[in-house]
Every structure is written in C-alpha cells, then in structure tokens.
C-alpha cells in the first residue's frame, strides 16, 4: 500500500496518513495468522509477570517493567474484546495483584463473560503457606477455576500488622516529639506507644473486617455459594486443592498444559476451528510499532477526549520525580497542576479523570493541586476522581474537590488529619561520639533541629499550626463534599476508611474502578463512550520531549521532571548511610516523610 505524505505536515494532520498504515499492518498480520475463515482469538493474561498501576518513574524502571502489563491496558483490552466477535475466550494465569486491582479486573471479567465469552483462570497456587485473598478473589470471577494438584487456596481473610518502635528508640536514646490531629492519626502511637491504643485497634479492626466482608460477598456471588459457605471455607483455610474442590471454590485440578489443552479443545469444538493465542496487551495494540506512534498524536478535530491524568505516589512541591527516597513515582504539584491546566484548556477534552494512588504528603502542595482542579471545573470541564489502592490524607485532599469521587471497595482513603514533629537525636549521636553546636540568629531559626527538644513556646506554636491545618482541611472537605463541618469532622480525626465505609459516610460518591469513573465522566460531559478517546494525559507528539515547553501552560510542562522537595534530613551532612538506615525506620514506622498530610502508617495487609 503506497501512501504519499506531504512534506509540510502538522502533528494533528499526520494521523490521517498513519491510521491507514496501521490498519494495513494489522490486516496483514491477521491474514497471516488465519487458517481459513475468520480469525478466532483466545486472549491470554499472565499476572505472574506483575501488574503496574502507575507508569514507570525512571528509564531504568521502564526498562525493567517493559514486559509488565498495566491495569488500565488490561481493562481496556477486556472491554474491547467483549464486543469483538473474533475473541472467543480468555485464559488468565492468576497472580497476587492486590485487592483493589483484583476488584477492577473482577468487574472487567464479569463484563467479558456477560458478552457470552468463555473465561478460565488458573494458578499453581492461590497462596502458598500464606494468604492468597486477592488472587482467589480474582479467580472467582471466571467461568472455570483451575488449580495445580499440589496447590492451595489461601482464602483466609484479611489481617493487618502495626509495628511499634518505642522500645527500640528508648535503647537508641531517641526522644520523639510528635503532634497529631486526632486520635486515629496513628503514626505517633507507633513511636510513642508499645502496643495498640483503643482507637488504633478500633480502626484496624474495622478495616480488616470491612475488607474481609467484601471479599466473602464477592466470592459468594461469583461462585454461586452462600455467604455462610464461603465464610466457613475461609475459617477452615488455607485449603488443599482437594478440599477447595469439595467446597466448590475450584472446578478442576491440573497443570498449565492441562488448562490450555482443555480450553482450546472446548473452543474449537464449539466454534469449528483453531484458535490463536494472543496476549491481551498485544491484542489491544495490534498495529506493531506504528500503533504506539499513532497513540502519541493529537486527537483529530471533532473527536472528543476523556483525559486520564495520573497522580501516583507521595505529594510534594515542584516537579514529578526525584523526591521519593524509597523509590517509585511521586507527585510534584507543579507537574500535576500543569497537566490539569493543559487538559482544561484543550478544546478536544470533554472531561478529566484524575486517577489517584497516593498516601498524601505536603499540605501546601495538595492545596495547590486542589485549586487547579477547581479552576478546570470553573472552565466547564468536569473532573472525576478515581481512587486506586490508597487515596489518604493529601491523596484525599486532591480527590475531594472533583465533581464525583469513586473508590474501590478495598481502597484505603480518608485519613483527614494532620501529623508532624521531630525526633531528637542528641543522646543517640552522643553515644557514638558525635557532638554538635548551633549558632542562631532568629528566635525560631532552629525550632525543628534534631539537636534539642521544642521549648514550651515552640511547642505551642507548633500545636497551633497543626490546628490551623486541620481546620483548613476539614473546612474545605466539608465544602467540597457538601457536608456540615461538624458532620465532616465526625468522620475525620485522622481515621482511615475502606472505600465501602467511606461511601456510606459520604466521603466518596460511589464504588467503582477506573472504567466506571470514565463512564461517569462521559455522562457528566454529555457524550458517549463511542464519541470519545480515553487517553492518558498529557501525550504530545513524540518530538515534544526534545524541546522545552514554551510556558508553564503548555502540555509539555507537565512532563518536566525535577529534584522535587528534598528527602527529610535526619542526621545532616556527612551521615548519608546512617540517614538512609534511619530513613528506612521512618518509612517502616509511618512517619510523615513527605508532609503533614501523609497517611501516617502503611497497613501490612495479608
């Protein structure tokens, strides 16, 4: 096929020439793969490779994860396949993807099956001597569940573990001075207490209870069992392969080759022809290297866009990247605000979906993002928040101003509270012969020094600051959610909620994943799914990254990276190794390394 491309061409015009090339490439590929008649596809997903929620933050991460599918791409592939007559089945090698991702894939598989397609799940084990709640939760969504004869079903319910470091800090001579708003903001407890306080235990019990109830209800509905039957199986778990079959949780036992042979045979008998096995992500983009190029080009005029803007990692001032000492992506307020501004100003963008997976961080950075969201809405573009695994504290702060807020049943959100303070390390360092002296020019210039405790005046000022931030947070949350301040504060106090419990209390509007959020955005925009492209934003043409943006309002400004806010300095210059060690303790303890609106602890869910 010969296509002549003019010498002078704008990026938005290039698509009309590349689209036919991609279609031609795809057509040739399909013809080559057919063996008479229409091609019949069996889609394959291998979750043992892992699953990405956020895009890679660095080139090294991108290289290491280049063969790892993304949650969004798999959901899109299953949605497309449900309406594609060439796709006749789905087989998934199940891995532990986490309860939130499992819920989104569970729903996508349900839509695929509703279209009359065959779906089979298999795994060597759904948890080996450990819990496999999320893995089995996903498997239960399929027509047929296979398990290796030596495997187990680790449907055992959710547990949470909190770590307390008070004894360790006493031995090290560390004096902890932390303030919190309020009793459910539990990082201070982890450093000041030797066990769970009553509010801390109450919160953890509610979380694991809510998650387990959702798990049981979903499995019961998917497997056609009663809640009591599933609860009894859970209490008896982990189950051996034979026990799992006897209780109706597993349909067939066998190895990988048994699964594929049986499924292929069933599909070929039902359809009268061979099936072609293809990874779901390759099915989604069948046009070879040209498909990726087309994705980068601007949308043709007249075609609307739902812009999916990602907010992944801790929140800080400045640009994305460079401020997360523990690895992974981070949210720079300048970068995220620039992405939102550019989406709001683009004539093709009908709505924005803000996908959030963040424990929060800086209060002022979170507030800057909130203001950017309100500006997009004021310009007439609806914004919908879609919560991933975590959208707590600052992560909730940037969700609450959106037109609609959706969370997964297992999302951890809320944590409307404040935490801050310092660790006094003078005695600790003195034990290894490190001494320091301070010369100051201002009354409060060394207020946050780790060399000495707060004095009474400094502590009073610090406590007043926490009060101001808490009042600002709760006032804006009440305003954004259309609640009275007292009603909002009753469900705040630093408490973390599951998505189910947050929806019951008005902190989120409804339950659902990213696909459901797109549906809501399309509805608010007054359009339909068929009339819009759902695209990650921003995505300028491939050469934009080689040139600096013209201004802070250009789409490419959202792609700039920077050092971001520095990681908290625990020991000062010359102690990088010790700083890293204590930094890991900070992370393990849940200290707010990124700001006072950080969800103050990480539940170790099993």
- Domains along the chain with CATH numbers: 38-62+69-156+237-284 (3.90.226.10), 160-217+419-434+447-484 (3.40.1750.10), 302-417+493-545+552-563 (3.90.226.10)
Beta strands in 303-428 (DSSP E): 304-312, 315-316, 331-332, 349-358, 360-361, 383-392, 404-407, 412-414, 418-424
- Planar angle of CA 318, 322, 325, nearest 5 degrees: 120
Q: What pLDDT is recorded for position 4?
A: 52
- Distance separating alpha carbons of residues 100 and 138, to the nearest angstrom: 10
| Burial label, 477 (beta-carbon count in 10 A; 0-12, 13-18, 19+) | buried
CA 34 to each of CA 147, 261, 270: distance values in angstroms, whole numbers, following the listed order: 32, 20, 18
Q: What pLDDT is recorded for position 428?
A: 82
pLDDT digits (tens, 9 = 90+) for 490-528: 999 999 999 999 999 999 999 999 999 999 999 999 999
CA 493 to each of CA 154, 206, 583: distance values in angstroms, whole numbers, following the listed order: 35, 15, 27
Q: What pLDDT is recorded for position 81?
A: 96
- Distance separating alpha carbons of residues 521 and 529, to the nearest angstrom: 10
The mean predicted confidence, pLDDT, of the chain is 83
Contact 233, 247 (CB under 8 A): yes
Contact 221, 511 (CB under 8 A): no
User: 297 — alpha (psi -120 to 50), left (phi > 0) or beta?
Assistant: beta
Q: What pLDDT is recorded for position 415?
A: 94
Enter the pTM of the model: 0.84
For 472, the enclosing helix (H) or strand (E) is helix 456-481
Q: What pLDDT is recorded for position 437?
A: 81
CA 313 to each of CA 162, 360, 394, 601: distance values in angstroms, whole numbers, following the listed order: 21, 8, 11, 14
Give the neighbor-by-neighbor strand order of the sheet with 144-147: 252-253, 144-147, 118-123, 87-93, 41-46, 276-279
Q: Residue written as tokens 């401020």?
A: 323
CA 5 to each of CA 8, 14, 143, 170, 387: distance values in angstroms, whole numbers, following the listed order: 9, 8, 49, 72, 43
- Distance separating alpha carbons of residues 137 and 219, to the nearest angstrom: 6
Range from 193-197, 529-533, 580-584 carrying the lowest mean pLDDT:
580-584
The confidence band for 67, taking pLDDT boundaries of 50, 70 and 90, is: confident
pLDDT over 70 (residue 588): no
Q: What pLDDT is recorded for position 123?
A: 97
Two tokens, residue 350: 């009908």
More confident residue, 569 or 89: 89
More confident residue, 589 or 396: 396
pLDDT over 60 (residue 322): no
pLDDT over 70 (residue 574): no
DSSP 529: G
pLDDT over 90 (residue 8): no
- Distance separating alpha carbons of residues 514 and 522, to the nearest angstrom: 12
The confidence band for 578, taking pLDDT boundaries of 50, 70 and 90, is: very low
Range from 95-109, 133-147, 149-163, 263-277 carrying the lowest mean pLDDT:
263-277
Q: What pLDDT is recorded for position 267?
A: 92
Whose CA is closest to 99, among 523, 505, 500, 380?
A: 500
Range from 230-239, 320-329, 445-454 carrying the lowest mean pLDDT:
320-329
Q: What pLDDT is recorded for position 570?
A: 29
Q: What pLDDT is recorded for position 59?
A: 57
């Amino acid at each position: 096929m010969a296509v002549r491309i003019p010498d002078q061409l704008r990026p938005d015009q290039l698509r009309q020439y590349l689209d036919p090339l991609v279609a031609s490439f795809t057509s040739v590929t399909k013809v080559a793969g057919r063996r008479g008649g229409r091609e019949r596809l069996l889609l394959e997903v291998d979750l043992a490779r892992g699953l990405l929620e956020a895009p890679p933050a660095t080139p090294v991460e991108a290289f290491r994860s280049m063969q790892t599918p993304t949650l969004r791409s798999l959901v899109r592939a299953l949605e497309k396949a449900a309406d594609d007559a060439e796709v006749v089945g789905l087989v998934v090698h199940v891995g532990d993807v986490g309860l939130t991702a499992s819920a989104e894939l569970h729903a996508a598989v349900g839509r695929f099956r509703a279209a009359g397609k065959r779906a089979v799940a298999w795994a060597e084990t759904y948890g080996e001597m450990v819990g496999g709640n999320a893995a089995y939760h996903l498997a239960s969504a399929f027509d047929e569940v296979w398990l290796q004869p030596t495997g187990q079903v680790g449907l055992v319910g959710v547990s949470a573990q909190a770590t307390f470091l008070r004894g360790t800090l006493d031995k090290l001579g560390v004096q902890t001075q932390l303030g919190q708003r309020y009793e459910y903001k539990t990082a201070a407890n982890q450093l000041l207490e030797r066990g769970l306080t009553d509010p801390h235990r109450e919160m953890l019990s509610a979380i694991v209870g809510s998650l387990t109830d959702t798990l049981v209800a979903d499995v019961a509905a998917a497997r056609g069992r009663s809640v009591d039957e599933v609860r009894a199986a859970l209490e008896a778990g982990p189950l051996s392969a034979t026990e799992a079959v006897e209780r109706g949780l597993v349909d067939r036992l066998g190895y990988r080759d048994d699964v594929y042979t049986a499924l292929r045979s069933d599909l070929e008998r039902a359809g009268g022809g061979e099936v072609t096995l293809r990874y779901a992500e390759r099915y989604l983009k069948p046009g070879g290297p040209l498909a990726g190029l087309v994705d980068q080009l601007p949308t043709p005029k007249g075609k609307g866009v739902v812009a999916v803007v990602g907010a992944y990692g801790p929140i800080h001032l400045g640009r994305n990247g460079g401020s997360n000492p523990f690895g992974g992506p981070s949210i720079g307020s300048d970068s995220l605000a620039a992405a939102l501004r550019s989406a709001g100003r683009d004539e093709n963008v009908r709505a924005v979906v803000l996908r959030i997976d963040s424990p929060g961080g800086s209060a002022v950075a979170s507030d800057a993002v909130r203001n950017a969201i309100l500006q997009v809405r004021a310009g007439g573009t609806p914004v919908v928040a879609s919560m991933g695994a975590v959208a707590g504290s600052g992560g909730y702060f940037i969700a609450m101003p959106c037109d609609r807020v959706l969370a997964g049943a297992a999302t951890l959100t809320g944590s409307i509270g404040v935490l801050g303070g310092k660790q006094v390390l003078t005695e600790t360092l003195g034990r290894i012969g490190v001494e320091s002296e301070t010369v100051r020019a201002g009354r409060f210039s060394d207020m946050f020094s780790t060399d000495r405790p707060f004095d009474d005046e400094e502590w009073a000022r610090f406590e007043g600051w926490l009060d101001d931030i808490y009042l600002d947070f709760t006032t804006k949350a009440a305003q954004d959610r259309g609640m009275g301040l007292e009603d909002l504060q009753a469900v705040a106090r630093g408490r973390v909620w599951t998505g189910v419990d947050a929806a019951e209390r008005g902190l989120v509007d409804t339950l659902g994943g990213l696909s459901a959020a797109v549906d809501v955005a399309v509805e608010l925009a007054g359009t339909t799914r068929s009339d819009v492209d759902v695209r990650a934003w921003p995505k300028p043409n491939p050469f934009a990254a080689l040139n600096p943006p013209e201004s802070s309002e250009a789409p490419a400004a959202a792609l700039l990276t920077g050092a971001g806010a520095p990681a908290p300095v625990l020991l000062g210059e010359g102690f990088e190794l010790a700083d890293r060690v204590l930094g890991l303790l900070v992370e393990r303890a849940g200290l707010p390394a990124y700001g006072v609106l950080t969800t103050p602890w990480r539940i170790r869910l099993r």
